[in-house]
Structure 1
Amino acid sequence: MNYQGVLTKMQTENGSPIQYYLVFENDFLHVNQLLDKKISINFLRYQCLNCNLQKKVYRQGFCYDCFFDSPQTAAWIISPELSKAHLGIEDRDLEYEKRIQLRPHVVYLANSSNIKVGVTRKTQLPTRWIDQGAHEAIEIVEVPNRYLAGIVEMALKNHISDKTNWRMMLKNDLKDEDLVDWRNNLKQFIPEEASEYFLENNLETHLEFPVLRYPTVPKPLNLVKTPFYEGVLKGIKGQYLLFEDNTVFNVRANEGCVVSITVN
């Protein structure tokens, strides 16, 4: 069977295990059904996710022009403390910024390779944790806008990491942590203007990924350097496909690549 389309991040459904889908314009692929099967990935060309033109992708699936023009790639996306919609101040598109920024956001702890702090819209849970490959996670605060979430994250970053070691995550080189205890210990560092939003009674969320075998020495697949790859799929974790020969393919990092996928 052959599937063709532009790559976007895999869609997910939480379950035991998590279900993954590659969604194309006219078709979709239930990736869990490919476990233990040989598949090939063939890079055909680029297609910007914003303007849909066949232009080289610069970052996040966007061409150079769209990356620096679109509100979807503004600095506040990565750095939520830069959000200004709550003040009525426009960055690139105030109406878009209000729709995204002026919604409930969560600051959380996630354990993927280590415990890290992060921010996401409330509606993106547990999707955000799944995308990061976290096997356990917990909310710390739920605030009414992105700015407040950003300043909480900034304060907590002085006491805990905000990065994931993707190699450790993919090797499943992990240990369980008491995230309730971590959350309670970090309460003292939450800025006063967000302290009323602290969540005291929620419990950890545990996530199960569909992996038959983890790579021992993960080798990232770069489609530009290696436009054709074939291997046996052994697992899916985060936004990565894990293959029998230790090759790992980050779907999210290859958004905007038009590919042909063949299932043998």
Structure 2
Amino acid sequence: MNGDLFASEEMVSHGEFVLDKMETRLTADNLVRYELVSGDRRVALNDFLGKSVEVHFSGRIFCCYCGQETNKSFGQGYCYKHFMALAQCDACMMSPEKCHIGQGTCREPEWAENVCLQPHYVYLANASDLKVGITRAGQLPTRWIDQGAVQAMPVARVSSRYLSGLVEVTFKQKVADKTNWRAMLKGDNADIDLHARRDELFADLKPQLDELIQQYGRQHIQLIHHSEIQEIRYPVQRYPEKISSFNLDKQSLVAGFLQGIKGQYLIFDTGVINVRRHTGYQVELRIQA
């Protein structure tokens, strides 16, 4: 993107940031408030909707684990050494049904006890369409917001990440576990009756769910038959008709008018950028005065 297009605007620097996942807060009227945070610096991004915004990449990338500079980012923010060494970067983090802490083979058992051997929720959400997902207890509604869901609710509570994976795999027989991020960013979600879909899934998958409960015990797998639907609104003035994605590895400047924020994406009139995808990238943020 050519920065000359915005040369006539008076731009004010808000300092340098090492990018990380945007922090979110859900207000009483279900609107998401976004903040970009780096050290003790915080920028309330909702306040700049409709303004010209520039993100200048310095060319420097820092590991989100050790803080050391790295030539390339791996697995959403790690240097190669720690991407290869850490249990949190293992394949089982993407496939919780493969969690192997119970087999005694996790390379970081103390870390796994604090993450994997904790209560988890299995949920249904309306992001690009109906999807199933899992998250640790205490991460709701943050997990739903990060995925850009407009409706969501828990359908099961389990005692470990492994069991959440087994329940999720069961639901995946009928429901996708992925979000179509392009469809999510177009903002044309139709409302879904999540209560009705939950009841349909419970009925259709009853033999498989009953077998899991019998094998692991009701104290470890609890289906949730009554839960409220969480509605979520995003600060978006205008959704894009066509999706063009920015990549800081290919361009050092992202510039445009900020039209919205959804999931972990900034939506410009010129394209979108996934902030979380660029964890560890050092940028300067300039915003129209």
- Taking structure 1 as the reference length, the TM-score comes to 0.95
Rounded Cα–Cα distance in structure 2 between residues aligned with 1:98 and 1:127: 22
**1:2 aligned to which of 14, 19, 38:** 14
Q: Give the match for residue 253 of structure 1.
A: 277
Q: Give the match for residue 37 of structure 2.
A: 23
The one-letter code of the counterpart of 1:255 is T
Q: Give the match for residue 253 of structure 2.
A: 228
State the 1:263 CA deviation. Answer: 1.3
**1:159 aligned to which of 174, 179, 204:** 174
Deviations for 1:149-170, whole angstroms, at most 9, x for unmatched residues?
1100111111111111111110
The one-letter code of the counterpart of 2:148 is G
- Say whether residues 1:213 and 2:228 are aligned partners: no
The one-letter code of the counterpart of 1:228 is L
Listed as ranges, the gaps of 5+ residues in structure 1 are none
Rounded Cα–Cα distance in structure 2 between residues aligned with 1:261 and 1:130: 23
Quick check: 1:143–1:194 contact (8 Å CA) kept in 2? no
State the 1:199 CA deviation. Answer: 0.3
Deviations for 1:201-228, whole angstroms, at most 9, x for unmatched residues?
1121100101111111011011111111
State the 1:191 CA deviation. Answer: 5.1
Q: Give the match for residue 193 of structure 1.
A: 212
Q: Give the match for residue 116 of structure 1.
A: 131
- Taking structure 2 as the reference length, the TM-score comes to 0.87
Q: Secondary structure at the match of 1:140?
A: strand
Listed as ranges, the gaps of 5+ residues in structure 2 are 1-12
- Say whether residues 1:93 and 2:112 are aligned partners: no
How many percent identity over aligned positions?
Answer: 39
State the 1:52 CA deviation. Answer: 1.1
The one-letter code of the counterpart of 2:74 is Y
- Say whether residues 1:204 and 2:216 are aligned partners: no
- Say whether residues 1:41 and 2:39 are aligned partners: no
State the 1:144 CA deviation. Answer: 1.1
Change (3 A) 1:191 1:225: farther
State the 1:88 CA deviation. Answer: 5.9
- Say whether residues 1:82 and 2:98 are aligned partners: yes
Quick check: 1:105–1:120 contact (8 Å CA) kept in 2? yes
**What is the aligned residue count?**
262
State the 1:109 CA deviation. Answer: 0.6
RMSD: 1.3
Rounded Cα–Cα distance in structure 1 between residues aligned with 2:89 and 2:69: 19
Q: Secondary structure at the match of 2:145?
A: helix
The one-letter code of the counterpart of 1:10 is M
- Say whether residues 1:52 and 2:67 are aligned partners: yes
Rounded Cα–Cα distance in structure 2 between residues aligned with 1:235 and 1:229: 15
Q: Secondary structure at the match of 2:162?
A: helix
Rounded Cα–Cα distance in structure 2 between residues aligned with 1:76 and 1:194: 22
Change (3 A) 1:261 1:194: farther
Moved over 3 A (4+): none
